[in-house]
Amino acid sequence: MQMTFRWFGQGNDNVSLSHIKQIPGVTGIVWALHDVRVGEKWPLDKILEVKKQADQYGLNIDVVESVNIHEDIKLGLSSRQQYIDNYKETIKELSKVGVKVICYNFMPVFDWIRTDLFKELEDGSTALFYEKSKVENIQPNELVNSVFKNKDFTLPGWEPERLDQLSELFEAYKNVTEEKLWDNLQYFLEEIIPVAEQHDIKMAIHPDDPPWPVFGLPRIINSSENIRRLYSLVDSPYNGLTFCSGSLGANGKNNLTGIVKEFGERIHLAHIRNLKRFENGDFIETSHKMSDGSIDVVGIVKAFHEIGFTGYTRPDHGRHIWGEVCRPGYGLYDRALGIMYLWGIWDTLQQTESSV
């Protein structure tokens, strides 16, 4: 298991590379060029600048999250080819600095949805919260205006240019069914995977967050059945998965340890976080500690250990603790605590195995 930490870049985060270097066992950053508009080719000079910054601290830049997919590709429009060609060129540029994994998603319009970015927990910390009834009874524009607009931080998946086109996007998706979205994903993969193979970069799709339809938009990467279908679209080890315990785990019917064991060979990146599910469909993110939430974090780490996982892992969202002012879900302190919790489980498994 190779431990990484998500970093949003100099001047775009309260977390520095110096901070990350001090977290035990972290060997690399998970990064992206957040100032490049979705669909554009990533400039090599900007990529090289990130490598130069990470090299100063002995951190690799093996994992990119995310090279986002332009909506025209998801919609299957005739204009999609120019954006797919740009994507191919970005893959080629990223290979020049040793990138090994690209995380991406195929969620229409919204990459992820929450109704409160700083919901208070019993211990006084705050965390990302999803209120099911609110999503079911609010218009998308109302949610955007009340939760996501006019913030002092960038939120991947909620870029201003996307929010400004919300009405147009919903109109465009009006006739896009799940089957049509599958067709468009297959077209994209058939175009991209041969380039990824040639340049030795594994594509790792992120599950839908949450793993069910929202605002009438289809969601397709949300269950074991659909992960099997994903793999069958283009049967290549370069067509893989980002396992996310929080996204998949929001639906209690998903067997997370079973997913790790069945699909582990093509899991190229693991996001491990905990959340607490409520009977009414709400959920709130918690500390990584298993008893604080509904996710079997110990069982997940054990499953990865049993399959001999050597891929990349990162602590996913954490709480906002100790008065830290930070991007929602991405505080330094709780994610660092999460890493130590994950290492504690892993080291215990390693020691138990060696003593047998």
User: Residue 55: its pLDDT value, please?
Assistant: 98
ω before 210 within 30° of 0 (cis)? yes
Distance separating the N- and C-terminal Cα atoms of the chain: 21
Contacts of 161 (CB under 8 A, 6+ apart): 37, 38
- Show pLDDT as tens, one digit a residue, over the chain (356 residues): 999 999 999 887 789 999 999 999 999 999 999 999 999 999 999 999 999 999 999 999 999 999 999 999 999 999 999 999 999 999 999 999 999 999 999 999 988 999 999 999 999 999 999 999 999 998 888 888 888 765 666 677 677 777 778 888 999 999 999 999 999 999 999 999 999 999 999 999 999 999 999 999 999 999 999 999 999 999 999 999 999 999 999 999 999 999 999 999 999 999 999 999 999 999 999 999 999 999 999 999 999 999 999 999 999 999 999 999 999 999 999 999 999 999 999 999 999 877 65
Residues 227, 233: Cα–Cα separation, whole Å: 10
Query: Which residues share a beta bridge with 65?
Result: 103
Q: Centre a 10 Å sphere on the Cβ of residue 141 and count the other Cβ atoms it contains.
A: 13
Taking only the tens place, the pLDDT of each residue in 91-129 is 999 999 999 999 999 999 988 999 999 999 999 999 999
- Say which DSSP state 146 is in: I
Residues 328, 117: Cα–Cα separation, whole Å: 6
Is residue 243 a contact partner of residue 270, using CB atoms and an 8 Å limit? yes
Taking only the tens place, the pLDDT of each residue in 132-166 is 999 999 888 888 888 876 566 667 767 777 777 88
For the chain, give the number of residues.
356
Is residue 13 a contact partner of residue 43, using CB atoms and an 8 Å limit? no
Gyration radius (Cα) of the chain, Å: 19
Is residue 239 a contact partner of residue 186, using CB atoms and an 8 Å limit? no
Residues 1, 301: Cα–Cα separation, whole Å: 10
Tokens 């990865």 appear where? Answer: 304
Sequence spans of domains, the chain: 2-355
Instruction: Find the DSSP H helices in the chain.
Output: 17-21, 44-55, 71-75, 80-95, 132-137, 140-143, 160-163, 166-172, 178-198, 224-233, 245-249, 256-263, 297-306, 332-355
Instruction: List the structure tokens of 318.
Output: 């954490």
Residues 42, 13: Cα–Cα separation, whole Å: 20
* b/e 188-203 (16+ beta carbons within 10 angstroms → b): bbebbbebbbebebbb
Instruction: List the structure tokens of 258.
Output: 């079973």
State the pTM of this model: 0.95
**Domain 2-355, architecture per CATH:** Alpha-Beta Barrel (3.20)
DSSP-based three-state secondary structure for 160: helix
Q: Parallel, antiparallel, or unpaired for β 312-315 and 267-272?
A: parallel
Active site residues: 206, 244, 271, 316-317, 330
Is residue 111 a contact partner of residue 155, using CB atoms and an 8 Å limit? no
Is residue 261 a contact partner of residue 309, using CB atoms and an 8 Å limit? no
Sign (positive or negative) of CA dihedral 197, 87, 114, 211: negative
